[in-house]
């Protein structure tokens, strides 16, 4: 009913407005004026109510919040130690909380790693990183949580510092590997060392072989292109079949112009700990003197009369010269006591060792002495005593090596050395059994190329 009255009043107001526009004289009465005013007020209130209701409806609806998008990533960061790096500086670079830096550094120190970082060593940090993206203000933030720090000690061993809730614990890990025996055969093209390198042998194995054969082989004169070298050694593989590293040499053979030099790595005392290389006859190849006290075998001048390269006159050359780069280690040819370590005229930096009342050796033209080497020092065979140089009267870097027997110079390459150990009786019989097993293994490896531990003789 109210709506009908309202419509009626609106029509009357419109008609009144048209009369005015048409120039007709409106008939104004008090009731007309009141009606017009009422119409205006009602329209105003209705419009206001409509607008208010509409706005109220919109504001009363649910407020929708746009959630931030969170993604989590597992991230690893590997640091390679450089000169001058410390564990604290490395941890600081990872932007870790101070408390976590203190915990990790403390555990590493307890394991002896903090003070023993080596150049080239790897440290890997494993994180969970939460990336928070907010579309409202278009901001991105990152929350980093350290889960693990791994210190690589060697090819097999690592130290892991792992998060447990709000703390960290340290644990040693070892990569499981399987041991095989492998056999390598190669033709010598230029020299023994380069051939052994081409076979993939590690440096320590090459040095061991060179030192062992240096008692019985003249590397300069006896080794020729076309000679053969054979090596049987341990080879370690991971459980997924990847190569890990080489181990000890079990057997080696040099075939030099048809003459074979076989050596076997054998523990003669039955402990399984003290190993030496033995020749076919059960005598250790380690003699009283090394024939070549440097690993790089290149004779530049032999024992005997020669034309002096500096003075130009002929004189007796009382030793053998081994050409080698500056800094090449020089080894003691045998056990003994240092009787000289000084600068000696044309000899330059000079070392002399007394091995027995009748036997001594001398080493000249060194660039420097080994640390703590002095007169009276006791040295063992194969111990580094100095480094190759060009001090004194020398035209180039080399080692001048001399041997004296009963005070007289002798040719270092012709001196007869005696074996350090000679197996006899039961020990010799046990060695011969071992030697035969090695030979059988070598024949099998010619076909299989690898024998897993458990099937081999070890």
* Sequential DSSP letters for 233-295: EEEEEETTS-EEEEEEEEEEEEEETTEEEEEEEEETTSSSS-EEEE-TTSBBS-BSS-S-SSS
CB 388 within 8 A of CB 294: yes
Domain regions of the chain by residue span: 2-58, 69-174, 178-287, 299-410
- Tokens read off for 445: 């490896």
Q: Around 137, how many Cα atoms within 13 Å sit in the side-chain half-sphere? A: 4
Q: What are phi and psi of 30, to 5 degrees?
A: -65, -40
CB 107 within 8 A of CB 161: yes
Of 453, 442, 446, whose CA–CA distance to 247 is shortest? 453
DSSP character for 189? S
pLDDT 10s per residue in the chain (458 long)?
Answer: 555 455 455 555 555 555 555 554 555 455 554 555 555 555 555 555 554 554 444 544 455 555 556 677 788 889 999 988 888 888 888 888 888 888 898 898 888 877 778 888 899 999 888 777 665 555 666 777 888 999 988 878 888 999 988 889 998 888 888 988 999 899 998 788 889 988 888 888 888 888 888 777 877 677 888 999 999 999 988 888 888 888 889 999 999 988 899 999 998 877 777 788 999 999 888 777 887 888 876 888 888 776 666 555 566 788 899 999 999 999 999 888 999 999 998 899 999 999 888 889 999 999 999 999 999 999 988 899 999 999 998 888 999 999 998 889 998 887 776 667 889 999 999 999 999 999 999 888 876 654 444 344 44
Residue with tokens 């020669």: 306
Q: pTM score > 0.95 for this model?
A: no
Strand segments (E) across 296-412: 299-301, 304-307, 314-317, 320-323, 329-331, 336-344, 348-356, 359-369, 378-379, 384-388, 398-405, 408-410
Is it true that domain 299-410 has CATH number 2.70.70.10?
yes
Reduced to 3 states, what is the DSSP secondary structure of residue 327?
coil
Instruction: Please give the CATH number for the structural domain made up of 69-174.
Output: 3.10.450.350
DSSP character for 441? H
The reply to whether 299-410 shares the fold of 178-287 is no
Report the alpha-carbon distance of residue 354 to residue 30 in Å, rounded.
146
Q: Which fold has domain 178-287?
A: Nuclear Transport Factor 2; Chain: A, (3.10.450)
Contacts of 53 (CB under 8 A, 6+ apart): none
Of 417, 415, 332, 327, whose CA–CA distance to 381 is shortest? 332
Reduced to 3 states, what is the DSSP secondary structure of residue 401?
strand
Of 261, 267, 271, whose CA–CA distance to 248 is shortest? 267
CB 440 within 8 A of CB 270: no
Residue with tokens 């205006």: 40
Q: Around 226, how many Cα atoms within 13 Å sit in the side-chain half-sphere? A: 3
Residues forming beta bridges with residue 284, ordered by sequence position: 278
- Tokens read off for 293: 């006290």
Report the alpha-carbon distance of residue 221 to residue 335 in Å, rounded.
26
């Amino acid at each position: 009913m109210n709506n009908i009255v309202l419509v009626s009043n609106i029509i009357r107001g419109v008609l009144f407005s048209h009369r005015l526009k048409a120039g007709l004289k409106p008939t104004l009465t008090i009731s007309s004026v009141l009606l017009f005013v009422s119409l205006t007020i009602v329209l105003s209130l209705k419009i206001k109510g409509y607008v208010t209701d509409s706005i109220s409806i919109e504001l009363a609806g649910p407020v929708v919040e746009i959630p931030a998008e969170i993604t989590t990533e597992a991230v690893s960061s590997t640091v390679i130690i450089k000169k001058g790096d410390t564990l604290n500086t490395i941890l600081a670079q990872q932007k870790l909380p101070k408390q976590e830096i203190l915990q990790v550094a403390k555990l590493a120190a307890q394991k002896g790693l903090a003070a023993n970082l080596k150049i080239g060593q790897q440290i890997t940090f494993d994180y969970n990183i939460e990336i928070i993206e907010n579309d409202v203000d278009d901001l991105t933030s990152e929350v980093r949580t350290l889960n693990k720090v791994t210190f690589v000690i060697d090819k097999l061993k690592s130290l892991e510092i792992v998060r447990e809730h709000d703390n960290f614990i340290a644990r040693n890990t070892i990569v499981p590997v399987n041991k095989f025996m492998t056999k390598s055969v190669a033709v010598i093209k230029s020299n023994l060392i380069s051939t052994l390198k081409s076979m993939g042998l590690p440096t320590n194995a090459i040095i061991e072989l060179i030192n062992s054969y240096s008692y019985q082989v003249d590397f300069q004169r006896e080794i020729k292109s076309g000679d053969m070298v054979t090596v049987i050694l341990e080879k370690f593989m991971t459980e997924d079949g990847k190569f890990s590293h080489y181990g000890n040499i079990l057997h080696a053979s040099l075939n030099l112009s048809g003459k074979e030099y076989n050596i076997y790595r054998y523990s003669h005392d039955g402990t399984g700990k003290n190993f030496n290389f033995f020749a076919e006859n059960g005598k250790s190849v380690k003699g009283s003197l090394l024939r070549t006290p440097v690993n790089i075998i290149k004779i530049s001048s032999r024992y005997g009369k020669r034309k002096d390269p500096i003075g130009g006159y002929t004189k007796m050359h009382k030793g053998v010269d081994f050409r080698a780069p500056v800094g090449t280690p020089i080894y003691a040819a045998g056990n003994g006591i240092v009787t000289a370590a000084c600068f000696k005229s044309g000899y330059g930096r000079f070392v002399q060792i007394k091995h027995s009342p009748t036997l001594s050796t001398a080493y000249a033209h060194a660039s420097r002495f080994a640390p703590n080497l002095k007169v009276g020092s006791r040295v063992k065979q194969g111990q580094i005593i100095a480094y190759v140089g060009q001090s004194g009267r020398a035209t180039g870097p080399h080692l001048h090596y001399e041997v004296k027997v009963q005070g007289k110079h002798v040719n270092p390459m012709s001196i007869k050395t005696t074996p350090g150990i000679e197996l006899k009786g039961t020990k010799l019989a046990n060695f011969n059994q071992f030697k035969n097993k090695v030979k059988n293994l070598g024949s099998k490896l010619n076909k299989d190329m690898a024998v897993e531990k458990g099937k081999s003789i070890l």
